[in-house]
Structure 1
Amino acid sequence: MKTALITGITGQDGAYLAKLLLKKNYKVYGLYRRVSTPNFWRLQALDIYDRVNLISGDLSDLSSILNAFKASQPDEVYHLAAQSFVEASFESPLSTADVTGLSVTRILEAVKLFSNSTKVYFAGTSEMFGSSYTGEPLNENHPFNPMSPYAAAKLYGYWISKIYREGYGIYVASGILFNHESPLRGMEFVTRKIANEVAKINLGLEKKIHLGNINARRDWGYAPEYVEAMHSMLQLDKADDFVIATNETHSVEEFVKYAFDYIKEDYRDYLEIDKRFIRPLDVPALQGDYSKAEKTFKWKPETKFRELVNMMVKAEIDRWKRYTEGEKFAWDVPNYPNENNLLKTYRGNVK
């Protein structure tokens, strides 16, 4: 039986990855911050909370990471934890640099000190490409040009991973993942925000949806499929770097349109642009080329964009309905302000 340590196990990817590894008969340990305990809802939603071994830790503290290694004795480490919200990285650039960037070095130092045979997955991001996109799908050979503190911190993690791979012989693979969504996405991400707001409009809880730059284009895939790629990267004989994407690009406006199509409404009747949600710098468009991953370990995306949008909107509608029936912790309730007033409004609208 293999043992895996997942940092950021309470996040979207961490939860889906834990489920995948348990299915493959791994013993799974998860490193989490104490302030992340409200996010255990994802593990509960996937019915795996009681099947993973949780370790409280701090990625800013090497001794804390070493303690997690000692407790888990991992064959594989999936380093997913990060401050991963681009907008927040402009507000907290120093903590983003530490948690998202320097933590990678601490993980690799722990491997060097603990066991060079441990394989490591580093979660890169398409945001590292920044403004490099010119219409040609981006692959592993395109130049990076980060446009946010988050992207810059991730790029540090990417390069330090290469240095430890080549300098110390540590098996560390980097997944350059383009946007990947699911019903377990955090509310701070625009896709989950859209799905949630559309669900509330459908149930009579809201009248408008407020967004920033709706012209930004992204390559959006389905998260459970992307964690399969993470696992596949660590099963190769030689560590390498891989773009994971769909080779399609869609605008935020398209996401909004399809979300409202699901509830049979015209998005133009509800959408309002709010300058508060526009970033100081924003990547205009991203599109990835996953051909290397397909050739190397037979990975390719299956879920189509519109199918993903429908799935997320349906999940939000179902959550709100379950909430009215008393399932208070069906999802990340702390992200829903004035929930009691909304509940009263919903009940008033039910016929």
Structure 2
Amino acid sequence: MVDNRSRSSRAKRAMIIGVSGQDGGYLAKKLLSEGYDVLGTSRSIADGAFLSLDHFGLREKVDLRAFDPVDAHAFRTLVERFKPTEIYNLSGQSSVGISFAEPVGTFNSIVASTIAMLEELRLHFPHVRFYNAGSSEMFSGPVGEPLTETSRFAPRSPYGAAKSSAYWVVSTYRESFGLFAVTGILFNHESPFRGANFVTRKVIETAYAISQNRSGQLTLGDLSIWRDWGWAEDYVDAMYRMVQHDHPSDYVIATGQAMQLRDFVAHVFAYFGMDWQEYVTSSEALARPNELVYSCGDASKARRELGWTPAYQGKAMIEKLCAEYAAILDRGGRS
């Protein structure tokens, strides 16, 4: 059922499900720059925080609607009225740590919502292109082995298990019903708009605060874990490229460079002119159950088929991240 007719003859309209998160603001910025009308949803609009949209001055340029993605009827109504050509599903509980405390809610927000939306597309809007946000937490590979689209899934958290389930739902609807439905298997990607529960934000905001008076302490969990950290805006560009591609397919999006958390911390503290070992300690109490030790992706397929490469990686990405955080914090803002 994939509609390969000229899409240029139709108005470019996109829905971002879960626009209030980190990636939502960058994606809205990208789509608006490409001439799209954009509708963005969040479970709550009245009391919602739209840090990235506000930072880019886009709140008034996006049609914001309150919407719970598990509500199939509400989803159908939104699609009927807005008539999008593309839908980007960025919604769902996004914290690995929280997923251990709230596994049922995590599955409902990720898996049940994906099924509800895809079923409505199958029945009523088969021409609409659908992007689903996957995660590197779906994997658990050997140390030193970059992971690809063909690597075995072995999630180590309820969050990773939910993302794996949603991946297979998307694949099933694409292969069984011909929908243009794809999953971007995105490895860790950062920006100043990360939630308060993410370790990258905790490290940078604490380092910044300590740099102001040279006092304070930062306690983290396992410093020996490895992650492939990229820049969020680069990864949003990859999402867009997947949906514009002639044929629907799933892609790993990663820098291909893994770094230990202790090295990430060292680079951050060095950016602010400090030796991290004077201020950072590790506590087993903060370590996750069944922690994923090593995570690194191989985005060769995306490079080959989409022409995508990350603009920022490794130390350069960390320095950009610190600079953007610092600019916001210097103004007295909250990232």
Normalised by the size of structure 1, how large is the TM-score?
A: 0.89
- Give me the whole-angstrom Cα distance separating, in 1, the residues matched to 2:204 and 2:49: 19
Distance 1:274 1:238 in 2: 47
Paired amino acid for 2:21: G
Q: Which residue of 1 aligns with 2:64?
A: 54
The counterpart of 1:98, out of the listed 108, 130, 136, is: 108
Confirm or deny: 8 A CA contact 2:167 2:183 kept in the other structure.
yes
CA 271–79 in structure 1, closer or farther in 2 if over 3 Å, else same = same
User: Tell me, what secondary structure is at the counterpart of 2:245?
Assistant: coil
Secondary structure of 1:30's counterpart equals strand
CA contact (8 A) 1:244 1:289 kept: yes
TM-score w.r.t. structure 2 length? 0.93
Q: 1:36 to 1:206 in 2, by over 3 A?
A: farther
3-state SS of paired residue (1:34): coil
* Residue matched to 1:271: 280
C-alpha distance 283-228 of structure 1, shift in aligned 2 (>3 A): same
Q: Which runs of structure 2 are paired with 1:173-192 in the superposition (5 Å)?
A: 173-192=182-201
Q: Tell me how far apart the structure 1 counterparts of residues 249 and 198 of structure 2 sit (CA, whole Å).
A: 29
Partner of 1:210: 219
Note if contact 2:183-2:250 (Cα within 8 Å) is conserved in structure 1: yes
Output the CA distance in 2 between the equivalents of 1:316 and 1:205. 18
Which of 326, 329, 334 is the equivalent residue of 1:331? 334
Match of 2:34 among 20, 24, 27: 24
Secondary structure at the counterpart of residue 143 of structure 1 = coil
SS of the residue corresponding to residue 163 of structure 1 reads helix
Matched with 2:290 is 281
**What does residue 65 of structure 1 align with?**
75
Equivalences for 1:112-123 in 2 at 5 Å? 112-123=122-133
CA contact (8 A) 2:136 2:185 kept: yes
> Percent of aligned pairs with the same residue?
36
Give structure 1 stretches of 5+ with no counterpart: 324-329, 333-351
Q: Aligned pair in 2 of structure 1 residues 97, 206: CA closer, same or farther (>3 Å)?
A: farther
Greater mean deviation of Cα atoms: 200-209 or 91-100: 200-209
- Whole-angstrom CA distance in 2 between matches of 1:37 and 1:292: 40
Q: Does 2:21 align with 1:11?
A: yes
How far is 1:159 from its partner? 0.2
The question of whether the paired residues in 2 share the 8 Å contact of 1:10 and 1:36 is answered with no
Deviates more, 1:65-74 or 1:105-114: 65-74
Q: 1:214 to 1:24 in 2, by over 3 A?
A: same
What is the distance in 1 between the residues matched to 2:160 and 2:195?
A: 18
8 Å contact 2:70–2:117 — kept in the other structure? no
Q: Give 5+ residue unaligned stretches, structure 2.
A: 1-10
Distance 1:78 1:210 in 2: 36
Cα RMSD after superposing both structures:
1.5
Equivalence map 1:125-274=2 (5 Å): 125-129=135-139, 131-204=140-213, 207-274=216-283
Question: CA contact under 8 A between 1:112 and 1:170: conserved in structure 2?
Answer: yes
In terms of mean alpha carbon deviation, does 240-249 or 269-278 score higher? 269-278
Q: Distance in 2 between matches of 1:37 and 1:64?
A: 20
| Deviation string, structure 1 residues 70-108 (Cα, Å, up to 9, x no partner) | 232110000011101000000000000100111110110
Partner-residue secondary structure (3-state), 1:132: coil
Judged with a 3 Å threshold, the aligned counterparts in structure 2 of structure 1 residues 121 and 180 are, in CA distance, closer, same or farther, namely same
> How many residue pairs align between the two structures?
325
Structure 1 contact 42–331 (Cα < 8 Å) conserved: no
